[in-house]
Amino acid sequence: MDRYKSFKEFYPYYLSEHANKYTKLLHFIGTSVGLIMLINFLISFNFLFLLLALISGYAFAWIGHFFIEKNKPATFKYPIYSFIGDHKMYLEIILGKHKIF
C-alpha cells in the first residue's frame, strides 16, 4: 500500500529528496531537454525524439540522485507522483521558488 494518498501529501517528501541545488539543476536540465525532444517528436512524429525525451529526463535526474543526493529516485516507488513532482518543481524553478544558480 502506498504511503502517500495524494500528490499534495507526496510533494513535501519529493522536495526533501532534492535538497541539493545541483540535483535540482540536473532535474531542470533533464526536463528542459526532455521537453525540447517532446516538441521535436510532435513536429516530426519521429519516435526517436520520444525515446530521447524519456532518456534525457530520467538520466539527468538519476545522476543527481545517485551521485549528489546519494538516494534512490522517487520514480522507483512513486512513478506517477514523481513525474508530476518533477514538472511542478520545474515550474517552481522557473518562477524563482527554488534557487539553482
Model pLDDT, residue 76: 94
* Contacts made by residues 86-95, CB under 8 angstroms, sequence distance 24+: 86/27, 86/31, 86/57, 86/61, 87/31, 88/11, 89/14, 89/15, 89/18, 89/24, 89/27, 90/27, 90/28, 90/31, 90/32, 93/24, 93/28
Model pLDDT, residue 2: 66
Could you state, in chain order, the average pLDDT of each consecutive group of 10 residues for the chain (101 residues)? Answer: 88 97 97 98 98 96 97 95 97 96 85
Model pLDDT, residue 82: 97
Give the predicted TM-score (pTM) of the model.
0.92
Model pLDDT, residue 78: 96
The structural domains of the chain, with segments of one domain joined by +, span: 17-94
Model pLDDT, residue 14: 97
Model pLDDT, residue 101: 85
